[in-house]
C-alpha cells in the first residue's frame, strides 16, 4: 500500500488519497486486493477517502470491477430501494431515529460476507455510520448473556403482511410476488414459514447468535437481538403497535426469543445495547468515502441526521 497520501492505522483503517479518479482507484484496488483483504481481516473495516464518487454510476463502476459475487437484499427487514442489480440505498428509516448496530442479515441463515458503503451526499448534520468490532463486543459482553445465547440459541420471528399492513410485506422482503419462490427460499435457508388467512407470512429463523469467522475462526458477536426485541422501539411507536395488535407482542412485525422459546428480558437488551454503544466508533461521512466492511467481524448502524443524505451499499 504505497504512494498513498495518508494511512491511518486506527479502526477503521483509513486510506486517504486526497483525490483520485474512479479509473485510477479501480486500478489501484485490483493491484492491491491481496493486501486489502489481509487488512480487512485484521481491522474489520477499511475506509477509502478522496475518491471521485458522486453518483450511482461511479459507485457501480467500482463494484462492477470487483470479481466477487454480489447478493440481493432478499430476506432483508430494513426499508431500502434497489437501484441496480448490485446497489441499494442504505436503510430508508426515519431520519429522526438511530439504527442500532448490527451485522447485516445476521438473523438470517444467508448473509453477505462483506459490505461496500459509499457516501454520495453527506447529511447536513449527523447521519454517521457507527461501527464496532464484533470480536471486542463478544469479549466485553456480560458473561451470563453470552452463556445463555450459547446454550439456548436465538429464535427470530417476523410477521410479514401480504400487501396491506404495518411493516414490510413478504413481496418486498423477497422481491417477488410468487409464493413458491418464497417457500423455496425458506426451505433452502432452513427457515420455518406459515401462511395465514390474510395472505400474510410468518417466518421463524433460528440462529446461534455467536459464530466463528469463516476465515480467521475468531468467535464473534453476531445477532440482532436488540433490533428484533420490542423494547428497542420508541415508546410512542410501541404503544401504538400494542394497541393495533391487541397487546400481543408475538403478532408484531418483528420479535425475538431464546431458541427454547423462553423470553429475552428488556434489561438484557439494555445491557447489550450499552455494551455495543461503548465500543462504537463514529465519524462524519465525507463525499466520495468508500467504506469496506467485513460483515462478520464488524457491525454497523446509523445515527439520526438532518438534511439530505445519500449513502449506497453493495453486499458481497
Residue-wise pLDDT tens digits, 217-245: 999 999 999 999 998 887 888 888 888 88
Average pLDDT over every residue of 167-192 = 92
pLDDT band at 1 (very low <50, low <70, confident <90, very high): very low
Helix (H, G, I), strand (E, B) or coil at 291: strand
Cα–Cα dist 291/118, whole Å = 6
208-217 CB contacts, 8 Å cutoff, 24+ apart: 208/149, 208/150, 208/153, 208/154, 209/149, 209/150, 209/153, 209/154, 210/138, 210/146, 210/149, 210/150, 211/296, 213/294, 213/296, 213/297, 214/113, 214/296, 215/41, 216/41, 216/297
Model pLDDT, residue 44: 97
Instruction: Check if 6-126+284-315 and 135-276 are the same fold.
Output: yes
pTM of the model: 0.90
What end-to-end distance do the CA atoms of the chain give, in Å? 23
**Mean pLDDT: which of 102-111, 156-165, 248-257, 274-283 is highest?**
274-283
Which among 11, 96, 14, 88 has a CA at the least distance from the CA of 303?
A: 96
Is residue 12 reached through a cis peptide bond, with omega within 30 degrees of 0 on the bond before it? Answer: yes
DSSP-H helix ranges across the chain: 22-31, 33-43, 56-64, 134-140, 143-152, 170-174, 179-188, 225-228, 235-244, 266-279
Residue with cell 395465514: 196
- Spell out the domain ranges in the chain: 6-126+284-315, 135-276
DSSP-H helix ranges across 164-217: 170-174, 179-188
Per-residue DSSP letter, 262: P
User: φ and ψ at 153, to 5 degrees?
Assistant: 75, -175
The grid coordinates of residue 298 equal 464488524
The grid coordinates of residue 57 equal 454510476
Strands 45-51 and 13-20: parallel
Share of the chain above pLDDT 70, in %: 90
Cα–Cα dist 184/191, whole Å = 10
Model pLDDT, residue 5: 55
Q: What is the CATH class of 6-126+284-315?
A: alpha beta
The CATH number of the domain covering residues in 135-276 = 3.60.130.10
Average pLDDT over every residue of 250-278 = 94
Amino acid at each position: 500500500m504505497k504512494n498513498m497520501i495518508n494511512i491511518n492505522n486506527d479502526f477503521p483503517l483509513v486510506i486517504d488519497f486526497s483525490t483520485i479518479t474512479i479509473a485510477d482507484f479501480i486500478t489501484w484496488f485490483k493491484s492491491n486486493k491481496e493486501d486489502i483483504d489481509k487488512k480487512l481481516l485484521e481491522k474489520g473495516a477499511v475506509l477509502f477517502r478522496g475518491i471521485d464518487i458522486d453518483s450511482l454510476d461511479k459507485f457501480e463502476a467500482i463494484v462492477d470491477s470487483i470479481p466477487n459475487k454480489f447478493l440481493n437484499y432478499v430476506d432483508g427487514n430494513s426499508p431500502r430501494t434497489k437501484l441496480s442489480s448490485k446497489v441499494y440505498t442504505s436503510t430508508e428509516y426515519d431520519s429522526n431515529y438511530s439504527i442500532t448496530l448490527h451485522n447485516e442479515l445476521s438473523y438470517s441463515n444467508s448473509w453477505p460476507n462483506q459490505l461496500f458503503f459509499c457516501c454520495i451526499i453527506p447529511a447536513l448534520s449527523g447521519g454517521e455510520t457507527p461501527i464496532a468490532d464484533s470480536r471486542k463486543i463478544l469479549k466485553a459482553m456480560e458473561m451470563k448473556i453470552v452463556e445463555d445465547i450459547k446454550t439456548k440459541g436465538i429464535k427470530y420471528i417476523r410477521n410479514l403482511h401480504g400487501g396491506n399492513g404495518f411493516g414490510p410485506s413478504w413481496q418486498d422482503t423477497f422481491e417477488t410476488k410468487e409464493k413458491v419462490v418464497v417457500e423455496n427460499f425458506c426451505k433452502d435457508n432452513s427457515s420455518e414459514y406459515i401462511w395465514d388467512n390474510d395472505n400474510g407470512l410468518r417466518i421463524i429463523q433460528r440462529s446461534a447468535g455467536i459464530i466463528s469467522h469463516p476465515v480467521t475462526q475468531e468467535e464473534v458477536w453476531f445477532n440482532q437481538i436488540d433490533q428484533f426485541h420490542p423494547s428497542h422501539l420508541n415508546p410512542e411507536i410501541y404503544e401504538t403497535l400494542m394497541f393495533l395488535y391487541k397487546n400481543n407482542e408475538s403478532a408484531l412485525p418483528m420479535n425475538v426469543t431464546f431458541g427454547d422459546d423462553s423470553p429475552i428480558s428488556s434489561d438484557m437488551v439494555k445491557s447489550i445495547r450499552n455494551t455495543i454503544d461503548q465500543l462504537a466508533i463514529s465519524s462524519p461521512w465525507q463525499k466520495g468515502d468508500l467504506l469496506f466492511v467485513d460483515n462478520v467481524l464488524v457491525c454497523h448502524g446509523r445515527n439520526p441526521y438532518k438534511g439530505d443524505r445519500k449513502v449506497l451499499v453493495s453486499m458481497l
